[in-house]
Chain A
Amino acid sequence: QQQVKQSPQSLIVQKGGISIINCAYENTAFDYFPWYQQFPGKGPALLIAIRPDVSEKKEGRFTISFNKSAKQFSLHIMDSQPGDSATYFCAASMSSFNKFYFGSGTKLNVKP
C-alpha cells in the first residue's frame, strides 16, 4: 500500500513559469513532510520541509502549501529555471529522523 501518492509523474514548464507538484498521504500520524530534489546519478538533496502546524512555508523560489484536513501538500517552484530540471520527491514521516515514505517522483523539465 502506497503511503504517499505523488502527481504528476512528469511535468514540462516554460522558463519563468510556476511548477506545481502534488502529494497526498493517508496516515494522520505523519508530522514531517520534506521535498527532495535529485539529479541523475546523485543522491536526493533536501529542498524544503514543513510540519503540520503551519499551512505554508516559503524559502526563496520554493513554497510548500499544506492542507491538513485534505491530507495533501504541494511544492510550488516560482520563476522556474532550466537548472531546476530534476526529479522531485515528496516524503512523509512520523518525525524528521524516522523512516521516510517517499512519493513516486516527478520528473520536471523546464524549457528555456
Chain B
Amino acid sequence: GAVVSQHPSRVICKSGTSVKIECRSLDFQATTMFWYRQFPKKSLMLMATSNEGSKATYEQGVEKDKFLINHASLTLSTLTVTSAHPEDSSFYICSASAGSGRGGEQYFGPGTRLTVT
C-alpha cells in the first residue's frame, strides 16, 4: 500500500500556543486529504476534508478558525491547532487519497498524539 507520514508523532505544548501537524503522501499525489480526531477507545471523527489548492471543508461543529488546514501541494497537508487548550489533547490522524488513481484507496498516516498542558 501507499505510504502516508505524519510529523510529529507526539507533541506536548503549553495552553495558548499553536501547534502544526504535517501530513505527507510519500509515494503518490494526494488530491484529497482528510483530518480525523480520535479520543481514547473511540472511533475516528472526521474534522475536515481538503483538496489541493482549495479551502478545506469542515464538518459540522469543527471550528475552522481553531483548526486551520492547508493543502498547499499534492503531497502535503497541514493542520494547525491555534491557541491550544487541554481539551484539544487528542490523537490526530490524516488520510490521503489519489482520487480515482491507485484504485482510489484512502491511506492513513500513523497519527500524532497532541497533549496540551
Contact = CB atoms under 8 A, between A and B. Distances in A.
Chains A and B bind each other: yes
A41 interface: yes
Contact of B110 (A36, A42, A89): A42
B24 to A, nearest CB: 13
Interface in B87-107: 91, 93, 95, 97-100, 103-107
A52 interface: no
Given A42-B111, A46-B1, A100 B104 contact: no
Contact of B97 (A36, A44, A49, A96): A96
B7 interface: no
Interface size class of A (residues with CB under 8 A): 20 to 34
Interface in A64-112: 89, 95-97, 99-100, 102-105, 107
Residue in A34, A102, A104, A107 whose Cβ sees the most chain B Cβ within 10 Å: A102
Contacts of B42: 104-105
A12 interface: no
Contacts of A43: 4, 6, 93, 108-111
A97 B108 contact: no
A96 B46 contact: no
Interface in A3-60: 34, 36, 41-46, 49
A100 B105 CA distance: 11
A30 B105 CA distance: 15
A75 B65 CA distance: 39
B25 interface: no
B99 to A, nearest CB: 5
B75 interface: no
B89 to A, nearest CB: 14
Given A43-B110, A46-B1, A103 B93 contact: no
Interface of A: 34, 36, 41-46, 49, 89, 95-97, 99-100, 102-105, 107
What are the 3 A-B residue pairs with the smallest beta carbon separation, nearest first? A97-B97, A96-B104, A43-B108
12 contacts: A43-B6, A44-B108, A45-B108, A46-B105, A46-B107, A89-B43, A89-B44, A97-B97, A100-B95, A104-B43, A105-B42, A107-B41
